[in-house]
Structure 1
Amino acid sequence: MLRVSEPSFACLGGGHGLFQTLRAVRQLPHTSIDAIVTVADDGGSSGRIRKELRQVPPGDLRMALAALAPFDDEGLIWEQTLQHRFGGHGALAGHAVGNLLLAGLVDVLGDEIQALDMLRKTIRAEGRVLPVCDRPLDIAAEVSGLDDDPRIMREVRGQVAVASTPGTVRRVRLIPERPRAAQEAVDAINGADIVTLGPGSWFSSVIPHLLVDGITEAIAGTDAMRVVVLNLSAEPGETAGFSAERHLHILAQHDQRLRADVVIVDARMIPNQSDRLHLERAAKSLGARLAFYDLREEDEDGLLLERHDAEKLAQALQSEYR
Structure 2
Amino acid sequence: MRPAVVALGGGHGLSAALSALRLMTDRITAVVTVADDGGSSGRLREEMGVLPPGDLRMALAALCDDSDWGRTWRDLMQHRFATDGPLDHHSVGNLLIVALWELLGDTVDGLDLVGRLLGARGRVLPMASVPLCIEADVRTAQGRCEVVRGQTHVAVTPHRIEHLRLHPADPPACPEAVAAVREADWVVLGPGSWYTSVLPHLLVPQLRAALVETPARIVVVLNLTPDNETAGMRAVDHLEVLRAHAPELALHAVVADPGSVDDVGELADLCAAMGCRLLVRQVRRGDQSAVHDPLRLAAALRDVVEDYLGDVGTRAGRAVGSRDSDG
Counterpart residue identity of residue 16, structure 1:
H
The structure whose Rg is larger is 2
The yes-or-no answer on 1:295 pairing with 2:286 is no
The Cα offsets for residues 96-118 of structure 1, whole Å up to 9 and x where unpaired, read as 11000011111111221111011
**C-alpha contact 1:59 1:99 (8 A) present in aligned 2:** yes
Query: In structure 2, do the counterparts of structure 1 residues 130 and 247 end up closer, same or farther at CA, with 3 Å as the change threshold?
Result: same
Structure 2 CA distance, aligned partners of 1:219 and 1:11?
Answer: 12
Q: Which of these residues, 175, 179, 188, is aligned with residue 183 of structure 1?
A: 175
Instruction: Pick from 121, 127, 134 the counterpart of residue 132 of structure 1.
Output: 127
Find the aligned partners of 2:269 and 2:130 in 1 and give their Cα distance. Answer: 37
- Give the whole-Å Cα distance in 1 for the aligned partners of 2:163 and 2:272: 21
Give the alignment partner of residue 8 of structure 1, picking from 4, 21, 24. Answer: 4
**Residues 284 and 181 from structure 1, CA distance in 2 versus in 1: closer, same or farther, beyond 3 angstroms?**
farther
State the match for 1:20 in structure 2.
Answer: 16
Trace 1:148-159 onto structure 2 (pairs within 5 A). Answer: 149-150=142-143, 152-159=144-151
- Find the partner of 1:321 among 288, 298, 305: 305
For 2:82 and 2:138, locate their aligned partners in 1 and report how far apart those are by CA, in whole Å: 35
Shift of the 226–270 alpha-carbon distance from structure 1 to 2, 3 Å rule, reads same
1 CA distance for matches of 2:270 and 2:280? 15
> Which of residues 216, 231, 234 is equivalent to 2:226?
234
1:61 corresponds in structure 2 to: 56
Q: Which residue of 1 aligns with 2:256?
A: 265
> Which structure carries more helix by proportion?
2
Task: Give me the TM-score of the superposition, normalised by structure 2.
Answer: 0.91
Residue 230 of structure 2 aligns with an amino acid whose one-letter code is T
Report if aligned partners of 2:129, 2:171 keep a CA contact under 8 Å in 1.
Answer: no
Structure 1 counterpart of 2:152, which letter?
A: V
Distance 1:191 1:154, change over 3 A: same
8 A contact 1:217–1:257 mirrored in 2: no
Q: Deviations over 1:213-258 (max 9, x none)?
A: 12222222222221000001211x2000001111011111112221
* 1:265–1:293 CA contact under 8 A, matched in 2: yes
Gaps of 5+ in 1: none
Q: Which amino acid aligns with 1:52?
A: E
SS of the residue corresponding to residue 165 of structure 1 reads: coil
| TM-aligned CA deviation for residue 172 of structure 1 | 1.0
Query: Judging changes above 3 Å, is the alpha-carbon distance between structure 1 residues 205 and 259 closer, same or farther for their aligned structure 2 residues?
Result: same
The answer to whether 1:250 aligns with 2:241 is yes
In the TM superposition, what whole-angstrom CA distance separates every residue of 1:104-133 from its partner, at most 9, and x where no partner exists? 111111221111011111111111000000
Q: Distance in 2 between matches of 1:160 and 1:294?
A: 30
Instruction: Give 1:134-173 correspondences, 5 Å limit.
Output: 134-145=129-140, 149-150=142-143, 152-173=144-165
Match 1:195 to one of 177, 187, 195: 187
How far apart in 1 are the matches of 2:246 and 2:4? 25
Work out the CA distance in 2 between the residues paired with 1:79 and 1:285. Answer: 42
Instruction: State the TM-score, normalizing by the size of structure 1.
Output: 0.92
RMSD (Å), alpha carbons? 1.2
